[in-house]
Structures are given as structure tokens and as C-alpha cells.
Amino acid sequence: MSCLIFLMTLMMGAFAVASAYPQESSVFDVTQLTDRIYKLSTDGGGYTVKIIVSVGEDGILLVDAGQKATAEDLKKQVLEFGKGIPKYIISTHAHVEHTGGNSIFGAAPVVIGHKNLRTTLRSGLYLFDEFPDESLPEITFSDSMSLFFNNEEIKLIAYPGAHDNSDIIIWFTESKIVCVGALSNGSHFPSVDGGTGDIRKYPGIVGEVISILPDDVTIIPGHGEDGTIDDFRAFHDMLVETTNIVRTEMARGKDAATLQEEDVLADWASFEGSYVNRNQWIQYLARGFTNPDYKKTIFEPMYYAIKEKGVEESITHYHDLKNNHREEYEFDGNELFYIGYKLYLIDKLREAVKFFELSTNEYPEGKTTWMCYHFAGKIYREMGDKETAKAFLKKSLELNPDDTEADEILKELDRE
């Protein structure tokens, strides 16, 4: 498990919550792309989350269903098309900002995805999301399939193993639109799942996708800007060139820190985005080239320990794993934050706060330590313990002066 890479993926979610929290009802922007294809976009917390909708005489088909937090809004928006609930939901890949809304329409829509999607959504950190059965794909494939819907052939083709292990593309052949999920991030560096993705495969897989597409298609990534095939080629060139530079320099004995210091990717500064800058991209690449065989994560054993033995006993179990099974499991300083954050999202606040506190004790100088204080502070506030809330939020602000939300809550608490 790659700490940084997984951290990035998760921090996207963390910021989504941090910034989406006060707004409560997030709204989708609706753009009509062709006679039958619409795009719903929303701010996922500093990055765009897109859902593509096919509307026609056969009814509604969705590509991705967005975050769980926006699922009710999605439902409202989809019903406004006047064609009822979707017949099909196709998932571009497993990540929660694409699959979190899968179950909002109940069991009726047929979910379609890569063969690995079922197992992935029921493993590792995804266990904490407790995806209901209706979120999982009923139709899976590992090569390709076609769906004939709203007067066009929709080709689904599997390209797993780069961004995560369930990446597919969805090609609306008449509409000349291709949803590529995270196989493009528009004009920005992409992210790579630390558990199931592999940065070394990214350039090759993206090259394969480009090779089968005609010149007149519009490329729609799950997050980054829509573009032409030439834009997609520019993204691919960036992948090939930055990968070659980092690989070559590392073969000369340089490490990630040196490459960052030498700013070897300065020419690709324009690809920096809201969650991956060029130094982080160097980290992703360096990690991919140096340590591809990751250890297991503690998420599954911890999930079952909490479920079966309760939170206190699960913490004893954590210490046992850390003290006696270090060879088997990865302890990267962030795993406790992930667990706390997932518990927080499913409203298990008492359990969540235990993990945030454990994390600050185990890793007082970790990358996620400020976030542990941040969320623990918010939970204590919700529980009515104003003084502890203040102490934790102050600590968060001390570690991360950019934590404006903590600052605002502290001011509110002082006024109360």
C-alpha cells in the first residue's frame, strides 16, 4: 500500500467533506452535450465530479453516480428528465466519488462494471463504506461488451490496472462521446490508487485507449476537463515523458527528494491541479518504481475487529498487529486516520474519535495528524464537549494554519 498515493485519494474525499459540510445540499450543473447526452457536474471539494446521462425513448442510463453525499440531489436531478429512474448505471471504476450514489435508486437499476468491481467494493477500506448489495454490479465483464440503448451502440471496454483495478471506458458511438473515468484527468496530473493501481502501467494503458478511438470523439474524464483526442494525446505525452524522466534519473541513483529539489518536472507545471502538484507526481512515480510490492493493509482485520469485538478491543487488536505483524502489514502513519474518517462518514462518531485520538498518539508528526485533530474537534463539538473541541481545533490550526474551517468553528465557539 502506497501511503502517499492512497493519502491523496483519500484527502480528496476529506476535503470534499470539509468544504461540502456547511452547504448540505450540493447542486449539479446540467449541460446538454448532444441530442441525448447530458453532463451533470458538481464540486466534489476542489475538483469536479461528473455524471453522464443518456436520455431517450429507452429511458435513462447513467455513467457513474457520484458521491454518497450528493445522491439525493442526483435522484432529484435525474427524475427531472421525466423518464423515471435509470435502467442502467455503469461504473467507470470503484472509487467512492463515482460509486457512492449507486444505491440511491434502489434495486431496480442494473449496475454494470468491471469484474473486479464487486470484489473491490467489498474489500479493504471500502468495507467501511458498507456498500449495500444494490450498489454492486449485477453484470460484470473483463474484456468488452456492447449495450444498445437510446438508438446507439454503447461500447464498454476494460482497461484495468493503471488508476485502479476496475477501470473501463464507456463509448457512445453515435454521440461520439467517450467516458474514460480516471484514465484521463484533462490537463492535470492524475492520481493512482495505492492498493490496486500501478503508475508504471498508466502510459501504456492510456496509449491503448487512444489507439482505438477515432479523431472526432469528445473525451470526458471523471474529474478533469473534457477535451478532444488531441488533448488526450497531450495528457498521454505528459505521462510518457514524465515517467521516462523520473525512471532515468532514479536509475542514476537519485531519490524523489533530489528530483523535487532539482525540479525535474518544471516543464510540466501547467499540469498541476487541485490535488496533485508536480512534486507529488514525482512522489507517485518514484514510489511506483521503487516499491511496487506493497504489504497488506490493516483495514480488513480492523473492520472485522470493530464489528465483532467493539472499538476498545479493536484498538488492542491494532497494537497487536503493529507490535507482532509488521512484516505482513503496512503501517505508514495514515491508516488510523483513514479508519477514523470512514467511521466519521458513516456517523459512528464515538468510534471515529477513538481512532483519531489513537492516531495523534501513535503518529504525532504524521501527514494526517492535523486532520485527526480537525475531525476529532468537530466530533467533540457535536457531542457538546466545547472545551475538548476547542483544544483539538486549536491543535489542528497550529499544525495546519490553512485549516480555515477550524478557525471559523473556534470563532463560533468563542461567541457561543
**Shortest CB 94 distance to Zn ion, Å:** 8
79-88: Cβ within 8 A, 24+ apart: 81/38, 81/53, 81/55, 83/55, 83/59, 84/59, 84/60, 85/60, 85/109, 86/59, 86/60, 86/61, 86/62, 87/58, 87/59, 87/60, 87/61, 87/149, 88/61, 88/62, 88/112, 88/147, 88/149
Name the segment binding Zn ion (CB under 5 A); options: 50-58, 66-74, 182-190, 363-371: 182-190
**Shortest CB 185 distance to Zn ion, Å:** 9
Phi, psi dihedrals of residue 106, rounded to the nearest 5°: 80, -155
Name the segment binding Zn ion (CB under 5 A); options: 176-184, 206-214, 277-285, 315-323: 176-184
Nearer to Zn ion, 98 or 395 (CB): 98
**Shortest CB 287 distance to Zn ion, Å:** 17
Nearer to Zn ion, 12 or 353 (CB): 12
Q: Which of residues 371-400 bind Zn ion (CB under 5 A)?
A: none
Asked if 114 is part of the footprint of Zn ion (rule: CB under 5 A), the reply reads no
Nearer to Zn ion, 40 or 352 (CB): 40
Name the segment binding Zn ion (CB under 5 A); options: 31-39, 57-65, 87-95, 169-177: 87-95
**Shortest CB 270 distance to Zn ion, Å:** 22
Nearest residue to Zn ion by CB is: 95
**Residue 133 CB-half CA count within 13 A:** 2
Length of the chain: 416
Nearer to Zn ion, 39 or 95 (CB): 95
**Shortest CB 163 distance to Zn ion, Å:** 6
Q: How many residues bind Zn ion (CB under 5 A)?
A: 2
235-238: Cβ within 8 A, 24+ apart: 235/184, 235/185, 235/186, 235/187, 235/206, 236/203, 236/206, 236/207, 236/210, 238/189, 238/268, 238/271
Asked if 95 is part of the footprint of Zn ion (rule: CB under 5 A), the reply reads yes
**Shortest CB 202 distance to Zn ion, Å:** 12
Distance of CA 85 to the CA centre of its chain: 25
Output the CA angle 269-272-273, nearest 5 degrees: 160
Written as nine digits, the cell of 124 is 479493504
**Shortest CB 235 distance to Zn ion, Å:** 15
Nearer to Zn ion, 20 or 182 (CB): 182
**Shortest CB 160 distance to Zn ion, Å:** 12
Nearer to Zn ion, 39 or 317 (CB): 39
Asked if 182 is part of the footprint of Zn ion (rule: CB under 5 A), the reply reads yes
Nearer to Zn ion, 165 or 360 (CB): 165
Nearer to Zn ion, 3 or 358 (CB): 3
Output the CA angle 139-142-147, nearest 5 degrees: 50
Residue 224's nearest CA partner among 157, 174, 269, 274 is: 274
Name the segment binding Zn ion (CB under 5 A); options: 28-36, 92-100, 253-261, 363-371: 92-100
**Shortest CB 66 distance to Zn ion, Å:** 12
How many Å from the N-terminal Cα to the C-terminal Cα in the chain? 44
Q: Which residues sit at the interface with Zn ion, rule CB under 5 A?
A: 95, 182
